Structure 1
Amino acid sequence: MDVMHTMPITPVLIGPLLACVWLSVRHTAFVCGGALALALAIGAWSGALGSFAFDVEYAGLLLACAVIPYAAHHRTALEAAGARAREVARSTQHLILRPLSRDLAGTHVCTRYHCAAPESDVGGDLYDVAVTPYGLRVLVGDVRGHGLEALRLTAATIAAFRELAYTAPDLPALVTDLDKRLAPELDAEDFVTAVLAEFGPGEVRLVNCGHPAPLRAGQQVELLEPFAPVPPLGLRPDPRQYRVRLQPGDRLLLYTDGLTEARAADGTLFPLLAEATRALREPLPDDALDSLYARVVAHTGARPTDDLALVLCQPAEVPVALMSTNRL
């Protein structure tokens, strides 16, 4: 009986194939060389060296080991290109979401954008501000999905807001215009959750399109839930505006679901109201946002796995006559 039928060398190819998937080109070449040497050793030990069956299998192994390093090179090149693309996307995202900490039309606006782990995909969190003839307008939103497509929709949403915020007479009209402008950019399953705020003397006007409710911090901390749910942009929202009175020293926190969905190792959600109450006691807005993010990290026990956008707005003091009620 031919010994090679009981001692084949083809399984030796498993090592180079695994190396091609996991290792660098250089290490893959080393593994291929080792596999060829091992096959020769098996042939010599089994007495099959020089037989026709051995020569056929060894020729196949030799051909495979000549091609496999090229496959490893192609894989590593694709991985490097993907890493560069993600880095460019991250840089673009940071450029779009420019940091702010300044007074705008009588309101101090402070922003933070925290990426998830560097190796994670690009998220769709977004924010922007515009000083318009109708007052300071703020947008915070979240595009469904991740990756370059989400980044494209993020850029499209911000560009539309920057163009339309100055001409729409009120927030419902602005939401309607945004929805129409984004419709050609969105696929059937795409949408953008968003909350828009417009600051006036002693109050803020809000429209919430399927987004986490803003938080007002003053004598107490409370979520400013809309009176009726409104679908996200892209799902034909019927915008409903609601108004909230602001007393001297009140702050308005707008954020993305990276805050509300942050979980501890045991699955416990981040206690937003309790931790925000503590963090927003910091006198300076920048310190308040830094404290809030530190509390998120302490709760999760590690860097959060989802991107997080935070926008803290603190209007200047308003006349006493405008403080008769807390909420309209």
Structure 2
Amino acid sequence: MNAIRTAPMTLILLGPFLACVWLGVRRTLLVGCAAAALGLALGLGQGALSSGEFAAGYGGLLAGCALAPYAAARRTALLRACTEAREAARGTQQLILRPLSRELAGTHVCTRYHCAAPRSAIGGDLYDTAVTPYGLRVLVGDVRGHGVEALRLTAATIAAFRELAYTAPDLPALVTDLDKRLTPELEAEDFVTAVLAEFAPGEVRLVNCGHPAPLRAGRRVELLEPFVPVTPLGLAPDPRQYRVRLAPGDRLLLYTDGLTEARSPEGVPFPLLPEATLALREPLPDDALDSLYGRLLAHTRARPVDDLALVLCQPSDTAVPVPATVSHSHPSGCD
């Protein structure tokens, strides 16, 4: 008989418990009041108000009803703080990855940054530019991981590039300096894939540290794979520079793996070379990047699951791009 009298109190307490998990403070308080009234009515109906078993069970119910609104308030405050922190981090990331569409040292640079979802975890994609005594230098990279830690490493990578890009005499030296600067900031399993480009009349010099290969678009669309693989920043890379000719009308597309790892609902990879061939026929760089992203969305038929950074560089003395064909390239030289 005692079990019959006390067991319902535990079941009634489930109401306030579930309410504090799913509802706000006011609604949780109302559920708690209703649970307390129901427990009292149950005791009256059983004629057990004076029993010790009922007093213990009802006391536990009242304590649970009193704690439930406090738990709901703590949960609400925590969710609000997390949302504010995420939005602040997103805002910081957008300031770091400022959009760009302008001429820099004789090269028109156009950028796009696409978040996987408005409320998604913060990614580690990054890009930056520097007009140095050695020419225009461009960085595109991807920090391993997500969240606030990835944002911290993104900011550290860009800050290091902005400080070192103006003094390093060449790209291999710049990569070595970046690796030395970033290694103390990285945990044991952290690294940063990166590709660095330096523009000179009629050519671009590249160092690729474990990053997706740049794409040259002109009479042909070609992936510019390095001769020798180089490990990412943070993993003691041995940088190897290679040089690629840029003919009038050529463009250079730098991007992160949100482009190469995108899949259709059937699991088919995004056909980068054919789609880039069509998108980069657009006369204006901004339109070309918008067209490429539109083709990516058409392929995935949903928002991509990974963030994406795109940087399109076009020497300003080039003409409107001629229709391109798909090909694979071999860089002209390696230093």
Normalised by the shorter chain, which TM-score bucket? over 0.9
Q: Distance in 1 between matches of 2:13 and 2:266?
A: 43
Shift of 1:41: 3.5
Shift of 1:30: 2.1
Distance change >3 Å, CA 3–CA 178, structure 1 → 2: closer
Post-superposition Cα deviations, 1:290-320, rounded to whole Å, max 9, x if no partner, equal 11111112222222221111000001347xx
Distance change >3 Å, CA 266–CA 27, structure 1 → 2: farther
Post-superposition Cα deviations, 1:64-102, rounded to whole Å, max 9, x if no partner, equal 110111111011101101100111101100101111101
More displaced 10-residue stretch of structure 1: 204-213 or 33-42: 33-42
Correspondences of 1:1-328 after superposition (within 5 Å): 1-2=1-2, 4=4, 7-317=7-317, 327-328=331-332
Q: Distance in 2 between matches of 1:41 and 1:62?
A: 14
Letter of the aligned partner of 2:235 in structure 1?
L
What CA RMSD, in Å, does the superposition of the two structures yield over aligned residues? 1.7
Distance change >3 Å, CA 58–CA 133, structure 1 → 2: same
Letter of the aligned partner of 1:21 in structure 2?
V
SS at 2:244 equivalent? strand
Q: Distance in 1 between matches of 2:118 and 2:47?
A: 54
Q: Distance in 2 between matches of 1:297 and 1:135?
A: 35
Letter of the aligned partner of 1:225 in structure 2?
E
Shift of 1:186: 1.0
Distance change >3 Å, CA 7–CA 138, structure 1 → 2: closer
Distance change >3 Å, CA 30–CA 301, structure 1 → 2: farther
Aligned residues: 322
Post-superposition Cα deviations, 1:196-237, rounded to whole Å, max 9, x if no partner, equal 001111111110001111111111111111111111000000
Q: Is the 8 A contact 2:205 2:241 kept in 1?
A: yes
Distance change >3 Å, CA 327–CA 229, structure 1 → 2: closer
More displaced 10-residue stretch of structure 1: 87-96 or 291-300: 291-300
More displaced 10-residue stretch of structure 1: 142-151 or 45-54: 45-54
Letter of the aligned partner of 2:121 in structure 1?
D
Q: Is the 8 A contact 2:191 2:232 kept in 1?
A: yes
Q: Distance in 1 between matches of 2:270 and 2:3?
A: 66
Q: Distance in 1 between matches of 2:111 and 2:161?
A: 17
Letter of the aligned partner of 1:55 in structure 2?
A
| Structure 2 segments unaligned to the other structure (5+ residues) | 319-328
Q: Distance in 2 between matches of 1:12 and 1:2?
A: 16
Shift of 1:5: 5.0
Shift of 1:114: 1.0
More displaced 10-residue stretch of structure 1: 257-266 or 109-118: 257-266
Name the % identity. Answer: 76
SS at 2:8 equivalent? coil
Shift of 1:40: 2.8
Shift of 1:49: 4.0
Shift of 1:134: 0.8
Q: Is the 8 A contact 1:246 1:326 kept in 2?
A: no
More displaced 10-residue stretch of structure 1: 263-272 or 220-229: 263-272
Q: Distance in 2 between matches of 1:186 and 1:14?
A: 46
Q: Distance in 2 between matches of 1:185 and 1:134?
A: 28
Q: Distance in 1 between matches of 2:7 and 2:159?
A: 67
Indicate the residue corresponding to 1:321 in structure 2: none
Q: Distance in 2 between matches of 1:37 and 1:304?
A: 51
Scaled by the length of structure 1, what TM-score is found? 0.94
| Structure 1 segments unaligned to the other structure (5+ residues) | 319-324
Scaled by the length of structure 2, what TM-score is found? 0.92
Shift of 1:6: 7.4
Distance change >3 Å, CA 326–CA 122, structure 1 → 2: closer
Shift of 1:268: 1.9
Letter of the aligned partner of 1:38 in structure 2?
L
Q: Name segments (4+ residues, structure 1) moved above 4 Å.
A: none
Q: Is the 8 A contact 1:4 1:53 kept in 2?
A: no
Q: Is the 8 A contact 1:3 1:48 kept in 2?
A: no
